[in-house]
């Protein structure tokens, strides 16, 4: 259950990270409210998951999911550049997330 909460928390981190772009400095009300809601929900779920998962692991996975998702959506939604080096780094990030999961205490 904790790992499921952590994955959802990470996905919500992607939402708020991308949402920041749409808030235009928190000058647009609806995107700002949605982004703030995603931040609160993401933090809450991270805190819940950290009850059972060591905080170093939980935080690392949470940040990794957020960074990976934001980088991928940055390319897809905002046409950010994609290079071989960037793809290689994203692959290493996925490996780090999986590694943290596989080495986490039961």
Tens-binned pLDDT, residue by residue, of the chain (106 aa): 999 999 999 999 999 999 999 999 999 999 999 999 999 999 999 999 999 999 999 999 999 999 999 999 999 999 999 999 999 999 999 999 999 999 998 6
Q: CA 49 → CA 1, 6, 56, 61, distances in Å?
A: 8, 6, 12, 11
For residues 78 and 70, what is the distance between their CA atoms, to the nearest angstrom?
Answer: 11
Q: Which domain holds residue 93?
A: 2-103
Q: Quote the pLDDT of residue 88.
A: 98
The pTM of the full predicted model, rounded to 2 decimals, is: 0.92
How many domains is the chain partitioned into structurally?
A: 1
SS3 106: coil
């Amino acid at each position: 259950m904790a790992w499921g909460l952590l994955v959802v928390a990470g996905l919500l981190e992607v939402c708020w990270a991308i949402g920041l772009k749409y808030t235009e400095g928190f000058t647009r009300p609806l995107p700002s409210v949605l982004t703030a809601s995603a931040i609160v929900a993401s933090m809450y779920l991270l805190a819940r998951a950290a009850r059972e998962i060591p905080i170093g692991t939980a935080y690392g996975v949470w940040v990794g999911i957020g960074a990976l998702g934001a980088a991928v959506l940055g390319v897809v939604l905002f046409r950010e550049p994609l290079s071989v080096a960037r793809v290689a780094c994203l692959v290493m990030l996925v490996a780090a997330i999986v590694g943290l999961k596989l080495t986490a205490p039961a």
